[in-house]
Structure 1
Amino acid sequence: MEEKVFKTLDELVDILKQRGIDIPDSSARDYAKRVLEKNGYYNLINGYNKLFLDPESEIVKYRSGTTMKEINDLYQFDRVLRHIFFRYILEAETQIKSLISYYFSEAHGHKNYLIYTNFNTSLRDSESKITSLIAEIQKQLASRSSDPSIEHYLKVHGYVPLWVLNNILTLGTISKFYSLMLPQERQNVSRCFNIMDKELENALAYISTVRNFCAHGNRLYCFRTKKPLSTTPYHEQLEIKQNPNGEYLKGKRDLFACLIALKRLLSNNDFKRMSKELYRAIGTLDKKLCLLSRDQILNEMGFPDNWRNLNNL
């Protein structure tokens, strides 16, 4: 295996040029060095070169017409995508946390989220799941004990109400919390979104994964996951094609699936604003594309051509 040794910016540019990226003059070379210096070779090239590679070449070879500018344009587009999805997932997260704390506290009181029997003990592997959740909550609470709001309640009252605690809990933890709530409480929450509790549980787990991608700066436009989003009426209404096993080809394990989940969790106005921002971002990228096409980008995102029809469903 070839050893990965340090290379200067000039050496990296030479490698890219040898592999087929169009770097015709000193100006293009300077640009390539600037974007590599700013974003890093691994983040920029290894992260975003997939669509630019020659699929018929047995070695790393770029398609004719590939430029550093277009690779960087795709990279910048992905940053915009992360900002959009992260911001609107936070909107959904805030409401979800509020509803969970309300209905759980209504049933069990304000400081009973660490009591084992207040969760659904009839679930499979409930003992390990509930004890793991309680330990996770305690760990997050301890790690944020110096936060003013947390510190105040611990010093003055000796406990932290769930509606205060949920501000520091991660969406992943809240998703697990919801999955372990008693059936009636789960249904009280899911009814606010006009969906079944199992569908809400699945949607929360899905957007939690995407949120983590956004928060850690991971590549998002080509997001894929093994655990699919539950099938919704939107899949059929958008006439998305299915594979031989009956699974919809788009909107199940991709970024579009996250958009479908958010369609169910956001208010109509928030979703329309998000859709408009996405449409604008895709349009801005489309104007910059030379080698790639808008359809290629949408396909990588899992977005069908009629994705904006979600606004009206």
Structure 2
Amino acid sequence: MNAKTITISSSIKLIGDIQQEIARQMSKHHQVVTHYMTEHGYIPLWVLVNVLTFGKIENFSVLGIVRAKDGSYTYGTNDAYAIAIMFALLLSKSDLKDFISSMRTAFGKLQKQLHTISATDIMSIMGYDANWTNLANLI
């Protein structure tokens, strides 16, 4: 079993555990969890951390989610970068390199076309931090 298989397996288990906990909280009629799932179709991370165990929260590092110095999650939670993290876990190494290259090219083109805001600001809004190309190191 290689490192990528272990990472994907760990990620799938973590996602399954989270889904199970969400279902459990909804069956207990946890007000906030039920509200977000029924009204919005998702649960924000700040709600999720209130119902998950510390061990499950700590496992988010498996997914490559970036933390701030205070330990809060800043990127890769409910944004475009979260999708990129999943790509890193599911794509082959060569496909991931192609994806990163394509995104780098797209961000470069965007930078040339913008005049009132920088591409870096747009990337930040999308959840991409300065070291987003480190996605390749997840596998």
**TM-score range for the pair, normalised by the shorter chain length:** 0.5 to 0.7
Counterparts of 1:268 and 1:297, CA distance in 2 = 26
1:132-143 alignment runs, 5 A limit: none
Over the matched positions of the two proteins, sequence identity in percent amounts to: 29
1:311 maps onto 2:126 in alignment? no
Which segments of 5 or more consecutive residues in structure 2 lack a partner in the other structure?
19-41, 49-58
Counterparts of 2:102 and 2:111, CA distance in 1 = 14
1:298 maps onto 2:131 in alignment? no
Shift of 1:255: 1.1
Shift of 1:273: 0.9
Which segments of 5 or more consecutive residues in structure 1 lack a partner in the other structure?
1-189, 204-224
Whether the 8 Å CA contact 2:8–2:89 is kept in 1: the answer is yes
1:213-292 alignment runs, 5 A limit: 226-228=43-45, 231-233=60-62, 234-235=64-65, 240-242=67-69, 246-292=71-117
Shift of 1:232: 2.5
Counterpart residue type for residue 110 of structure 2: L
With a CA cutoff of 8 Å and minimum separation of 6, indicate the structure with the bigger relative contact order: 2
Shift of 1:200: 4.7
Task: Count residues with an aligned counterpart.
Answer: 99
Shift of 1:196: 4.8
TM-score (norm 1): 0.28
Shift of 1:242: 5.0
Counterparts of 2:89 and 2:17, CA distance in 1 = 12
Whether the 8 Å CA contact 2:80–2:126 is kept in 1: the answer is yes
1:195 maps onto 2:49 in alignment? no
Partner of 1:69: none
TM-score (norm 2): 0.57
Counterpart residue type for residue 133 of structure 2: R
Counterparts of 2:137 and 2:95, CA distance in 1 = 13
Counterpart residue type for residue 241 of structure 1: A
Whether the 8 Å CA contact 1:286–1:293 is kept in 2: the answer is yes
1:1-313 alignment runs, 5 A limit: 193-201=8-16, 226-228=43-45, 231-233=60-62, 234-235=64-65, 240-242=67-69, 246-313=71-138
Shift of 1:192: 8.5
- State the Cα deviation string for residues 203-245 of structure 1 (Å, max 9, x = none): 9xxxxxxxxxxxxxxxxxxxxx644497124236xxx4155xx
Whether the 8 Å CA contact 1:226–1:253 is kept in 2: the answer is no
Partner of 1:29: none
Shift of 1:287: 0.4
- State the Cα deviation string for residues 17-50 of structure 1 (Å, max 9, x = none): xxxxxxxxxxxxxxxxxxxxxxxxxxxxxxxxxx
Whether the 8 Å CA contact 2:7–2:89 is kept in 1: the answer is no
Counterpart residue type for residue 124 of structure 2: N
Shift of 1:198: 2.5
Counterparts of 1:282 and 1:232, CA distance in 2 = 26
CA RMSD of aligned residues (A): 3.1
Larger radius of gyration: 1
Whether the 8 Å CA contact 2:81–2:126 is kept in 1: the answer is yes
Counterpart residue type for residue 13 of structure 2: K
- State the Cα deviation string for residues 105-139 of structure 1 (Å, max 9, x = none): xxxxxxxxxxxxxxxxxxxxxxxxxxxxxxxxxxx
Counterparts of 1:312 and 1:304, CA distance in 2 = 15
